[in-house]
Amino acid sequence: MNFEAIRQQEKENLMPTYGRFPVALVQGKGVYATDSEGKTYLDFTSGIGVNALGWCDDGWVKAVSEQAATLQHISNLYYNPVQTALAEELCRLSGFSKVFFGNSGAEANECAIKLARKFGETKAPDCKRILTLENSFHGRTVTTLAATGQDEFHHHFDPFTEGFDYAPIDDMEKVRAAVTEKTCAVMIELIQGEGGVFLLDPEFVRQLRQLCTEKGILLIADEVQTGIGRTGKLFCFERYGIRPDVVTSAKGLGGGLPIGACLCSAELGAVLSGGMHGSTFGGGPVVCAAARYMLGRIADPAFLAEVEAKGAYLQEKLRTIPQLTNIRGMGLMIGADVKPETGLTSLDVANLCLKKGMLVLTAHKAVRLLPPLVMTREEMDQGVAVLRQALKEATA
């Protein structure tokens, strides 16, 4: 089917919720994908941080297809050895004690929110409020939209879930003022991804950890985007030198299949008891086989060190493009602003790159790069050359 036919089929049959780039991808291998017209693209998106090993990695395909051919779904009524093996690996590698599996980032956060509120009850009946940060992003369910600290997400779907307060990032005074007797948890992204690739200040994070400990409340790290090797450690909290009480994970965990995980400390392990939470699909054998394969490849110190080194390499190369400024990031989660004098928006840049056969993301004003963690330096050089040429032509 050609692109126009696909576009028409979408227009006639899908709810128009997505603003899509005018390309239909039909096949991929490694860091390259092919569209319906046979054009290839170099990928700096990983399907928004999901395809951490690129498209159709041989070992990943094998792990998924073998499990699909063995036992595709159980339901959580019965024991599931693929789920238990993944849970053991994830706990061992992360240093947490218990995990719950859902199907997405938003669901991982829903679990964290339920856990925090149930935990709050043990302190006081009305200790149920959760503080999040301005400009954050925590998901698209009604509750995780409420948790998201951006006003633009707080329209149309009211009444939203109550019980969220917001404080500006890196402002300990405002955070202190916002934490009350009714606060049971603070939920943060260590690097705000959708918000524009903003790294929290390490000193702020350290003080926040201290505040939560002093108050006996939970620090929840939403690592849906930053986790599973993206920043050069299995989890970004390791790079900040702190340990949250609860961590959520999703995007890169399944390498392309939908899985979310909510991890917690030993102390919190029994907070959600029988019948309090669940999921039909959560932790199914196929997604768990995929995630086990992903961890097997990514949770390797040499692999993670390469992610960090390649991230530094890519940032350095991006700094040589004159139209870009404020290059920032950690590992292979990188943001760059387009200089205002170019008159170009980040979306303009993404479209220019697309025309030249390269996929990049935007996050508000930033061009956001989340390349597959397996991308080589040579492939990064190719991408930087495309970006340089696109910006040069557009500002000539």
Ligand X SMILES: *Cc1c(COP(=O)(O)O)cnc(C)c1O
Binding to ligand X by residue 254, rule CB under 6 A? no
Part in contact with ligand X (CB under 6 A); list of ranges 101-109, 177-185, 236-244, 289-297: 101-109
139 binds ligand X (CB under 6 A): yes
For 281, phi then psi, to 5°, come to -90, -20
Q: Is 229 in the site for ligand X (CB under 6 A)?
A: no
Would you count residue 50 as binding ligand X (CB under 6 A)?
no
137 vs 198: CA distance, rounded Å: 12
351's tokens: 């479209």
110 binds ligand X (CB under 6 A): no
250 contacts ligand X (rule: CB under 6 A): yes
**Minimum CB separation from ligand X for residue 29, in Å?**
24
CA dihedral 91, 260, 50, 3 (to 10 degrees): 160
Tokens of 316: 């350095």
Q: Is 225 in the site for ligand X (CB under 6 A)?
A: yes
Q: Are strands 32-35 and 333-338 parallel, antiparallel or unpaired?
A: unpaired
Q: Omega into 372 within 30° of 0, i.e. cis?
A: no
Q: Which is nearer to ligand X, 96 or 137 (CB)?
A: 137
The amino acid occupying position 41 is Y
Q: Which of 128, 129, 138, 239 binds ligand X (CB under 6 A)?
A: 138
Among 35, 43, 110, 222, binds ligand X (CB under 6 A): 222
Among 100, 137, 198, 293, binds ligand X (CB under 6 A): 137
Please state, in angstroms and rounded to a whole number, the distance separating the CA atoms of residues 61 and 259: 16
- What binding mask, one character per residue, do residues 348-387 give for ligand X by CB under 6 A, x or -? ----------------------------------------
Q: Smallest distance from the beta carbon of 175 to ligand X, in angstroms? A: 19
Q: Are the C-beta atoms of residues 346 and 31 closer than 8 Å to each other?
A: no
Quote the tokens at residue 271: 């907070």
Distance CA 149, CA 138 (A): 9
Map residue 78 onto helix, strand or coil: coil
**Residue 123 DSSP symbol:** T
Q: Does 194 bind ligand X (CB under 6 A)?
A: yes
Total interface residues for ligand X by CB under 6 A: 15
Stretch binding ligand X (CB under 6 A), from 7-15, 91-99, 220-228, 365-373: 220-228
Closest CA to 277 of 161, 93, 109, 144: 109
Q: Which residue is nearest to ligand X (CB)?
A: 105
**Binding-site ranges for ligand X (CB under 6 A):** 104-106, 109, 137-139, 189, 193-194, 222, 224-225, 250-251
